[in-house]
Each structure stands twice: as C-alpha cells, then as structure tokens.
Amino acid sequence: MDKVLFGDNQFFAVNHASDEKARAQSIRFKEDKAIMKVLDDAIDLGINTFMCTTHDRIANICDILRANPEKYKNFNIYPCMPYAHKYANAVTELGIIGTIKQYVPGNLFGTFAKGGMAFVNKDFIKLIELLIDAEMKMFKGINTPVIFIQNVIVDMILGLKMHGVLKAYDEYIRKKYNAEPGYITMNMPALLDVLNSLGIDNPIICSSINKIGFRMSGGIELYEKYLQERQFRPIAMQVLAAGALRPKEAIEYLGKFSNIESVLFGASSKGHIQETKDLIESTI
C-alpha cells in the first residue's frame, strides 16, 4: 500500500466537526468534474490511491477513469462498502426485507421470495456475496487491490458477535476479486482480536489514530499498545481528530508507531494536499 491514501469525505459532505462546513463542501462538489479536478491535482502530486465509499457518484468517477485508461493506468481505487446511509435510510422506509429486495440485484432474491424464506435461511453467505457483487459492479475494469468493509458494518458484526460474516467476507474478496480484504473500524483492538481468532493474520485495519484519542474506542492506551506490540497492517484515519489537531502535530504523533503503513486523508486544495502528503512521507 502507498503511504498516502486519498479519501473522499470532503466530496460527499462528510465533516465530523461541522455541519456547516459539510454543506459548503456539498455545494463545491456538486459537479463530478469538480471532484475529478481535485483527484487530478492529487495524481499530479504523486498520489496514486483513492479510498472511497461505494456512493452512487463514485460510479460516475469510475466512468471517467475507464474512459481514459492510459491517463489512469497506475491509479488504484480502494472501495469501501457499503455506502451505509443508503441502506440505513432504506431500512427506515422499507424495512430490512424491503431493503434487501431493493438492493440485491434481480432474479436470485426473486427466487428467494417465491421459494419462501427456507432458501434464504440456508444461504446467508450467498446473500453476502450478492451484496458485495452489487457494490463492486461500478468498479469493473478498475484496479481495486484492497477492498474495505465499512466501520458501521464491521462494528455491528463485532458487537453482535457474528464473526462468521467477517470470515465469509475475507474469503470471498480474496477468491472472487483477487484482492486483499480491509477492515474499517472504530474499535480496532477488539476487531484485531476477533480477526486473529478467525485465523485472519496480519489484516489491513483502518482506524482512527490521533493523539487526543478521538473515536478510539477502548481507549488510547490500548490502541497504542496494539500499535506497538501486535502484528497487523494499520492505516491511520481521522488523524486530525475532525480538525482539533494541526497537521504537523497530528502526523508527528503517528511517527511514534513504526508499523503504520498508510495514512488516509482528504483535502480539497492542491496546496493543502501537497503539505499533508509531504508531512506524511517525511514522517511515516
């Protein structure tokens, strides 16, 4: 993995510190070409990996990448699935079964519905695979060497102790997509313990890592212990703690942990991207 992974929160009005800033971002990135301009800036600066959620608008970005194969031949996308709000809003409106009906493509669920629930009952793994395929459809023909499952799903599975789902995900991503599975979580120590217990060694785990302990559930001491003592491939996100930390002090903190492989960050201006990239590459 590259040391610098470029994120997408800024494009989709996700701002953990300010709804007002989020709205301003949503206005700025109304057009896909505004997103593409920032990605091109990042590429100019030598960033080759875009880590993004499976938001509907990413499908448009993928179209642009496919239309310019030469220009983007070294560009990687790390998809993060699913775009949870799409499903959460659908569950409120349609219920769980209604949501599955809406998002699982075509015939197979039709077969489930006709054949009654008995068929479904036996085949959750197949259902998971179908949902993964539905999310991955937009990335056809694009390099996706690492494929992530979003924190809301990882952490829910963790709490429900449905660990078999993680195992199924891990195996399917390796087998079908020939890619490395990655996990985003707000509960890194607990997740690493579970993955190891499932025989998933040296996993890629993307979690909040910042010196004020923001969104580091289980506590900053435990995080630091795991970062220093355990075998895994950490990606640091929320390193600025939603803007509470200045980039320099934030990245310096990451320098304490030699096994952090990559840092995920998002920015909109070329100057800001350059500054953060330089800081990361000189520290990690």
Partner 1 sequence: MIKGAIIGLGKMGLSHAAIVGAHPKVDMVAVCDTSSLVLDAFKKFTQVHTYSDYQEMIKKENPDFVVIATPTRFHYAMVKYALENGKHVYCEKPFSLHAYEGEELVHLAQSKELINQVGYHNHFIGTFRELKRLLQTGILGEIVHFTGEAYGPVVIKEKGGTWRSKPEEGGGCLYDYASHVLNLIQETIGRPTEASGSQLKHIYSKGVEDAVYCSLKLENGVSGQLAVNWSDETHRKMTTSLSIIGKNGKIICDATEIKIYLKEPVKKEGLEQGWTTKYITDFAIPVNYYLRGEEYSAQIDNFIDCIVNNKQSVYNTFEQGLYTDKVVEMIIADAKK
Residues of this chain that interact with partner 1 (CB under 8 A) are 12-20, 22-23, 26, 85, 88-89, 91-98, 100, 117, 120-121, 124, 152, 155-156, 158-165, 186-187, 190, 212-215, 217-219, 241-244
Closest approach of Cβ 96 to partner 1, in Å?
Answer: 6
Task: Between 105 and 243, name the residue whose CB sits nearer to partner 1.
Answer: 243
Residue 69 gets which letter from DSSP? T
Residue 242 gets which letter from DSSP? T
Closest approach of Cβ 20 to partner 1, in Å?
Answer: 8
Cα 119-125-127 angle, rounded to 5 deg: 65
Task: Between 72 and 112, name the residue whose CB sits nearer to partner 1.
Answer: 112
Closest approach of Cβ 225 to partner 1, in Å?
Answer: 15
Closest approach of Cβ 12 to partner 1, in Å?
Answer: 7
Task: Between 36 and 91, name the residue whose CB sits nearer to partner 1.
Answer: 91
- Pairing label, strands 262-265, 233-237: parallel
Strand partners, 263: 4, 236
- Written as one letter, the residue type at 203 is P
Closest approach of Cβ 5 to partner 1, in Å?
Answer: 22
- Pairing label, strands 204-208, 233-237: parallel
Sign of CA dihedral 70, 140, 166, 95: positive
Task: Between 24 and 69, name the residue whose CB sits nearer to partner 1.
Answer: 24
Cis peptide, bond prior to residue 82, ω within 30 of zero: yes
Strand partners, 5: 264
Residue with tokens 């990559």: 262
Task: Between 68 and 124, name the residue whose CB sits nearer to partner 1.
Answer: 124
Closest approach of Cβ 120 to partner 1, in Å?
Answer: 6
Closest approach of Cβ 244 to partner 1, in Å?
Answer: 4
Task: Between 5 and 165, name the residue whose CB sits nearer to partner 1.
Answer: 165
Q: How far apart are CA 65 and CA 146, in angstroms?
A: 18
Would you call 16 helix, strand, or coil by DSSP?
coil
Inter-axis angle of helices 151-160 and 163-177, nearest 10: 140
Task: Between 49 and 207, name the residue whose CB sits nearer to partner 1.
Answer: 207
